[in-house]
Chains A and B, each alone.
Chain A
Amino acid sequence: MAFTTRKSLLAKIREGDEISWDEFYSAYRPLILLRGQDFALKPTEKEDLVQIVMSEIFKGSREFLYDRSKGRFRDYIKKIISNQIARILRKRINQEVPLCDNDFSQINVLEQAWREEWRAHLMKMAMSELKDYVEPATYQAFILYGLHRKTSAEAAKFLDISVNAVYIAKNRCMELLKKIISDLEAEL
C-alpha cells in the first residue's frame, strides 16, 4: 500500500486515468531531451522537440488518456519522438543545414541508446514511485547512503538513527525499487 494518497503516473497509466500536461512534461522532458541529444539536435531544436512531442501527445487537451489498444506505451512514445526528430532533420535538409554524424544511419547504436535512455527514464519514475511507498525517513536514509554515497555512519548521524536502521532502510528501498522497476518494465 502506498504511503501517500498521491496517485503515481504509473498507477494512472495502469488504471487508464487521465494524466495532466505538467505531470507528463516533468516526467518525460528529460527522456525527450536525451533522445534529441542522440541525434545531436541543437539546444533550440531539442526544446522544440519537447514541445512538439507534448503537443502531439496531448493534441490540444490539458489531459492525456493513454489508449492501450495502441500497444506498449514505450513504443508509442518512441515512435512520436522519432517522427518528430525526423521532421526536424528534414527541415534541416530543406534549409541546407548539414546533418550530423548521429543521423538515422546508425540504427543499432541508436536502438541501444534508446534502450539505455528508456531504462534511465524507468529508474527515474521508479524513484518517484518509491518515495510514495516508504516513510520519508526511510527514503532519506536511502538517498543519503544509497545515492549520495554517504557512509552509513554519516547518514545515521545526520538522520539521528542507528547504522543498522540505515541498512534496513537501504535494503527495504532496494527491494521495493527492484519490484517497481520490474512492474514498470512490464506495464510501459
Chain B
Amino acid sequence: MKHYTREELDCYRNGDMNLFSRIICSEHLKFCRSCHKLLDSLKEDDALLDELRGKLDRLKQAAGEANKLNRFPENDC
C-alpha cells in the first residue's frame, strides 16, 4: 500500500489536488491510520505556526512601540 507524503497531504488539505486524486486520498485516509496521523501532525504544525506568528508579533510590537517613542520623545506636560 502506498502512503502519502507530508507534501501530498499538504496538497490535499489545501485544495491543490485534482478532484480525482482528492477523492482517492480521502478514501485512503478513512482507513489508513498512518496517513491520518501524518495529517494530524500537519495540523499540529499549523498550531505551532499560529503560535509563532502571535509571539513574533508581540515581540515586534513591544520593540516597535519603544522605537516609535524613541523617535518622538514623550511629552510629559
Are A and B genuine complex partners? yes
8 Å CB interface, B13-63 against A: 14, 16, 45, 48-49, 51-53, 55-56, 58-60, 62-63
CB atoms of A34 and B62 under 8 A apart: yes
CB atoms of A43 and B66 under 8 A apart: yes
Residue in contact with A34 in the complex, picked from B6, B45, B59, CB distance below 8 Å: B59
CA distance A19 to B67 in the complex (A): 24
CB atoms of A30 and B62 under 8 A apart: yes
CA distance A88 to B56 in the complex (A): 27
CB atoms of A47 and B6 under 8 A apart: no
CB atoms of A120 and B55 under 8 A apart: yes
Residue of A nearest to B16 (CB): A163
B residues touching A (Cβ–Cβ < 8 Å)? 6-7, 10-11, 14, 16, 45, 48-49, 51-53, 55-56, 58-60, 62-63, 65-66, 69-70, 74
Q: How far is the CB of A167 from chain B (nearest CB, A)?
A: 4
A residues touching B (Cβ–Cβ < 8 Å)? 29-31, 33-34, 37, 42-44, 46-47, 50, 116, 119-121, 123-124, 127, 146-147, 149, 151-153, 163-164, 167-168, 170-171, 174, 177-178
Give the interface SS of chain A, mostly helix, strand, loop or mixed: helix
Q: Chain A contacts of B48 at CB under 8 A?
A: 174, 177-178
CA distance A37 to B69 in the complex (A): 14
Q: Chain A contacts of B56 at CB under 8 A?
A: 120, 123-124, 127, 147
Q: How far is the CB of B7 from chain A (nearest CB, A)?
A: 4
CA distance A83 to B10 in the complex (A): 48
26 contacts between A and B (CB under 8 A): A29-B63, A30-B59, A30-B63, A31-B59, A33-B65, A33-B66, A37-B62, A43-B65, A44-B69, A44-B74, A47-B70, A119-B55, A120-B55, A123-B56, A124-B55, A124-B59, A147-B49, A147-B52, A147-B56, A164-B7, A167-B10, A170-B10, A171-B45, A174-B48, A174-B49, A178-B48
